[in-house]
Structure 1
């Protein structure tokens, strides 16, 4: 049986990209003669070099998976793309067996050297990293250091609580036993003010490919006198906005993705939920707006202790300009 994975949906492709260090993809069409001619060469490479979690060969039918083809701007068949850590590293247009063979075997050699060294590059770079409430999947890294803290704009924030920059603090939240705050210092979390809604505008220093958002929200135990706070429940996410979205505007504006968090999504030890993103919708993200539409519980305020972004980096952008990519919804 061939080890080649036939992609059935954008979500399926995102899952493969996040679960394998190297992904080789053949974008083809059934009516394409050159695609059929080079198919045996591709299958032979797949049979020889596929290794679970390390090198995965995939095929994408551009007629049935038009959204994926459009995302990666596929205009000719066949087109072969090679991804490392979810990021495109090489593209080969046309049926060129020699170029395909050389490119794939070179990557296989690199993967072999990495295995001999004991760890993938992404794992090796984790030492000394910021605190994370849940693990980062292979092939991705914590890209929170790319947040442009000077451009942050949060609406309905309780100014008596923590500063908006504190949710990007790399230290473990104090409420999880990381030590007490100094006298007179603000809390190291944020809360909404007049009601449970929060609007968080987060620009980045470079364009990113986002895989997920790690959201930490520590709810005080009953009887502590702080029973009015609750965790975020419904999130509406907008990408590549030039400014923050108003609350009235957010109700009418189509979002890039809407997520409803359940109680089971929160890790009991770290109070952190991993918000999985539709990876094909978050390929070139220069800014993100997170609208917390409501909270889970009977409280009146929503609390967030930490926000971490997981994905891969991209090109630095002009910090004087934050351009909208595509339409307002990022579609």
Structure 2
């Protein structure tokens, strides 16, 4: 397989000084750098790995089939990513959504269904009721200023697991809810705060928006892989993107910031840290970040997930519905 990358054989030398440094070349960092560049602000991106895209990584097989090792879908509420894809001519196509799903339980029971789940499935009614309650709570989240949400302290002090245990009596419904959380967040409900879940649901619109296909988060895929738009943005930014340049220390100075990397030092007026919270643990700061934030990061693990790709010559299962 060929990994989609824009690694350069001869990396461009780091500038001595720029106006803004963006740390991280995932979609957050690329979007930030692109916005700054569009506004005429002298900006560079520093990325520790040998590719852009962060948690999206596409590979093209020798037969031309593209597989996505990370995130792969895009839905209608992800308007900023869709706008980027349109701007850089990265086409999408609808996810195949014809036919029935199959649900199989550990006891061997099997049901075929369409939609969120089988109407007669174990715990299905209680699952749908719990999803409605989650949507109701999520509507009170302040997306413009999450810290202004009335119940943020209460919700952020409770795990999703304890919330399900407290509010959902049916064990099968709790199992369905846990599977939904694991599928979307790649993390156990016990490792996720209730407020994070509610903020995520509020951003999407509703709980089932994250789970389903038509009009929802799994509605479309990228023809050339989910990384294609990231690569297009990086190509547009050109030599402003510096790969294999891990940031080790950020120091606030009277004149701005000093960023020390594995390839040298860059001075800037400001820095944008576009990294997952856990990745910031590999960076030291002067002055140091608050102890409360350090403790929060230590208790906010990223999920682990294994993804298996099976490529067939034809989708033979469609003949059976």
**Counting strand residues as a fraction of each chain, which structure ranks higher?**
1
Whether TM exceeds 0.5 here: the answer is no
Superposition TM-score tier, normalisation by shorter sequence:
under 0.3
Tell which has more relative contact order, 1 or 2 (C-alpha 8 A, sep 6+): 2
**Counting helix residues as a fraction of each chain, which structure ranks higher?**
2
The normalised TM-score by structure 1 is 0.26
